Amino acid sequence: MRMTFWLLGLAGLAFLCTAQAQPRGSEQPLPPLVECGSHDDLEILCGTRSPEDLEMTPDGKFLIVSQFVNAARGVGAGLVLFDPTNQTFTKMAVTSEPLKDWGERACPGPIGDRLVPHGISLLKRKNGKIQLYVVNHGGRESIEMFELTEGAATPALVWHGCVVSKQAYNDVAALPNGGFFATHPTALVAAGADLFSLKQSGYVSQWAPGKSEIELEGTRAGYPNGVVAATDGRYIYFNAWTDMEVHKYDLKKRQDVEVVKLDFMPDNLTWTEKGHLLAAGVKGARGDCPSGSGNPCIQGFAVAEIDPPSMKGKEIFDSKGKGALISGVSVALQMGDAVYVGAFQGERLLKFPWKK
């Protein structure tokens, strides 16, 4: 089965393909999204571009937004800061200072304006510096490594290094030692294959300073997507997007120990203030559309909260019955008393109350 245009957009794989099938003529357009602004206890915040992933700055004042667009042309919209108080999006200032202890020696040099960001991960290094790792598809498939500086009125970035791969990354989990875990969602996919028919399309990898990147045994799954690492160094958690699963992987045993099955396609993972996981993603992407429409229903989505020790999950938000709020949901992040939802397409974030 050939992947249609909507499937490529849904999977975030346009940067991998040179030819795409056109939608069938019988397909109808999706319902228009609701207007920007407040809608009861929901708020639509417009002004960004394809906000695929989110991270909160250490001071709790801003969200770093990864704008996943223009991958095919190799020129992206880059990283922006969202100020919740003023509801503004501002492009982040970036400078370059290559450092030997960031990334691999084979890194070609600063990425500059070619950066096409995808998944991002923010974490403090052992030396106290705040590192932002960014999956990049512009000019090269890589993990770009930045230091977040907070001395000025708004945080800025300093590029220090990178790790380049022949396989496309999707998400990354930075580690205190400068290494990372990352997902290669399509590393096992043959050209023209239908992702939804594959039990194993990719895997999770590990990279450490001074060593080569390796595949983590036992992590092959259906489109490995978001990934995070526990602070205790024992477990990682990753989403299998087409399998609609969240996996708990034991780094000591080198195997899965728990799997949560969801009724939506979990994209990225984030941590709550209490150390729980939030998984967000689209619902009904393979059909289940309004009568007379052949388009994927990527406007439907859900957010689930998962307790890592027990791996028990519960939905905390379901868009059903709330109208077309946002299309292509990929991430949900708690920020104080609110949850912010981003998507791999569109011009908006969604905000809803965090219920303690």
- C-beta contacts of 95-99 below 8 A and 24+ residues apart: 95/156, 95/157, 95/158, 95/159, 96/158, 96/159, 97/158, 97/159, 97/160, 98/159, 98/160, 98/161, 99/160, 99/161
pLDDT of residue 192: 74
Q: Do 20 and 3 meet the contact criterion of CB atoms below 8 Å apart?
A: yes
pLDDT in tens, the chain (356 residues): 223 323 334 444 433 332 222 233 335 567 789 999 999 999 999 999 999 999 999 999 999 999 998 655 445 689 999 999 999 999 999 999 999 999 999 999 999 999 999 999 999 999 999 999 999 999 999 999 999 998 778 999 999 999 999 999 999 999 999 999 999 999 999 877 778 777 899 999 999 999 999 999 999 999 999 999 999 999 999 999 999 999 999 999 999 999 999 999 999 999 999 999 999 999 865 544 444 333 445 789 999 999 999 999 999 999 999 999 999 999 999 999 999 999 999 999 999 999 87
Q: Do 282 and 264 meet the contact criterion of CB atoms below 8 Å apart?
A: yes
Compute φ and ψ for 73, nearest 5 degrees. -95, -10
Cβ atoms within 10 Å of 338's Cβ, excluding its own = 13
pLDDT of residue 196: 76
Domain residue ranges in the chain: 36-353
pLDDT of residue 190: 84
DSSP string of 45-113, one letter each residue: EES-S-EEEEEE-TTSS-EEEEE---GGGT----EEEEETTTTEEEEPPEEE---TTSS-TT--S--GG
Two structure tokens written together for 4: 């249609």
36-353 adopts what CATH topology? Answer: Neuraminidase (2.120.10)
Is the pTM value of this prediction over 0.75? yes
